[in-house]
Structure 1
């Protein structure tokens, strides 16, 4: 079970900074507005709630006044958002094998959607099927992002041989249909029964000359290991969120649970099953961060206390005394004895001299 039930890998935001800027938007403002950690772009393998990912696309679409923002973003990203899945499919034997393996492991990238390859006679359909998600009314922007990325994937695999027969979309158009045609070279069939690219099934037999079978085997083993994600990883994931959210003051159990789309009691139960609790993880994270900042930074103790989520310096000092048996000031001095000696020397030099008789 994944720590976030309805998730997408943060790699799905690959390229957001430069693409948002090209649309006169700030990626950091978008990220902050939907409640994602400010450093989420630095952790592409982390999980982000699907509903917040969908909300970010909706906000960007509205703020940029660009109805096809998501489709354009998918075309801009291309295959880069797929992470290790890209290396797997590039080293498959044929285009058909590459797509089948992508469909097999796609749940590691997005937990609430399915990719399917369907062959009907001389036609092949490359499907994207989103599932229902709480608080997500519409998937249409995510669908358009995905079909844009899928188009670039097929171009990567097939080059100029990629000549799709049709793009089927379950939704109505977001703007005039000519705008779609200018971007992808054809006008989609809207209000269709499915979301899928339709193309010549013979293309599935195309060999991939760049395929490396040994590398393919190693990547497959790595993905199989990722597929064994279990609740044992939950404490480490909560620690990661605490490190990210503590400086912003948003690291209560309720806020962490909300970020993970879990009820606080559910989160507590999961952690208890792993022999720990939210408070234990919070204390451990605060201890580790306190040691690092006291050792490596020149932050004042008041600043550090606030960064760790303490409303008063005295509360931080009492907690630190319990953890390490000394005050934060004493601990810092022990880590920097040379600095302490310089302070003593400076103090002696600054003493007023006694007049000689």
Structure 2
């Protein structure tokens, strides 16, 4: 399974990391993420690398509660268009139902759900994945974000009963209580918030039904596209790694925390292959560079990750039916 999340999961990371006296660009680089990853919040990134950033930051800052504090800091900023959908639902319960239904558009690592039990309700995040680097940091970030989401929806009416964590406390439980304002419960079945079930019936007075329908249509479209995004994601990685020559399936699969066989299988399900995507990406980049730059053929060979100019020329002949030099002459001859 390829676990991906939106880059918006790192919303506010640069500012918060600096507040902890850390170098955010260095941490992103160490986790294998581009320093400008947040320039496109909707871009897909490896969930494992997202979690690794939190783990590295926790160790570098010597702050065992980095994930929890970061989650409280970033709050609802991670949700993107999902937030507009929730804010325009009829009630808190409807908003959380929307979140659970469309959460896979944000990330496919875990599920958000609401469970009613007598006079209490649980808002929890659950996943079956194992061996996640920084798993505890992710769990605590999720609880922090959940706290801020409920406060956004309910304001001062948000008075939870207990914060629940699947793991044992990393520090004295009193620190959790000071941060969350409520007693924590550890070694639980879920990472969750427990609260009065009647809060689910609270109406969202500023809701706009028309905007809710519009956002629902947008997310329905995004949901349908989600399963087809892997080939595009691979091509974005190829465009980034081609100039360095790191374009083997082994390298790309390792970057995504997959085996090469699993990556090929996922691509085959989408009707393509790694070699096809690599070839298409190189062909597109070739035309762009030839039309928009003054690169020499030798420079272009290096940028496209070919071992030598002969290999590039053979590929070019296969794509366009002529050699690169003949193609350039034809372009110059055109009025």
TM-score, reference length from structure 2:
0.87
Shift of 1:227: 2.6
* Cα pair distance change 1:171/1:271, threshold 3 Å: closer
1: distance between equivalents of 2:112 and 2:281?
38
* Cα pair distance change 1:273/1:107, threshold 3 Å: closer
* Cα pair distance change 1:222/1:302, threshold 3 Å: same
Partner of 1:343: none
Partner of 2:55: 58
Partner of 1:221: 217
What is the aligned-residue RMSD (CA, Å)?
2.8
Matched-pair contact (CA < 8 Å) for 2:105–2:226: no
Matched-pair contact (CA < 8 Å) for 2:235–2:281: yes
Please, which moves more after superposition, 295-304 or 173-182?
A: 295-304
Whether 2:60 is the aligned partner of 1:30: answer no
2: distance between equivalents of 1:17 and 1:302?
38
| Matched pairs, number | 334
1: distance between equivalents of 2:247 and 2:64?
35
Partner of 2:277: 281
Kindly report which structure 2 residues correspond to 1:74-85, keeping only aligned pairs within 5 A, or say none.
74-85=71-82
Shift of 1:252: 1.2
Partner of 1:311: 307
Whether 2:119 is the aligned partner of 1:122: answer yes
1: distance between equivalents of 2:109 and 2:36?
24
Secondary structure of 2:103's counterpart equals helix
| Rg comparison, structure with higher value | 1
Instruction: Structure 2: state its 5+ residue gaps.
Output: none
Q: Identify the match of residue 264 of structure 1 among 246, 253, 260.
A: 260
Matched-pair contact (CA < 8 Å) for 1:67–1:174: yes
Partner of 2:106: 109
The CA deviation string for residues 108-137 of structure 1, in whole angstroms up to 9 with x for no partner, is 22323222212233322212223223x426
2: distance between equivalents of 1:331 and 1:82?
47
Instruction: Structure 1: state its 5+ residue gaps.
Output: 339-357
Matched-pair contact (CA < 8 Å) for 2:55–2:134: no
* Cα pair distance change 1:194/1:234, threshold 3 Å: closer
Q: Identify the match of residue 67 of structure 2 among 47, 67, 70.
A: 70
2: distance between equivalents of 1:313 and 1:35?
30
Q: Identify the match of residue 164 of structure 2 among 168, 176, 200.
A: 168
Partner of 1:10: 7
Shift of 1:105: 1.9
Whether 2:178 is the aligned partner of 1:182: answer yes
Shift of 1:68: 1.2
Q: Identify the match of residue 93 of structure 1 among 76, 83, 90.
A: 90
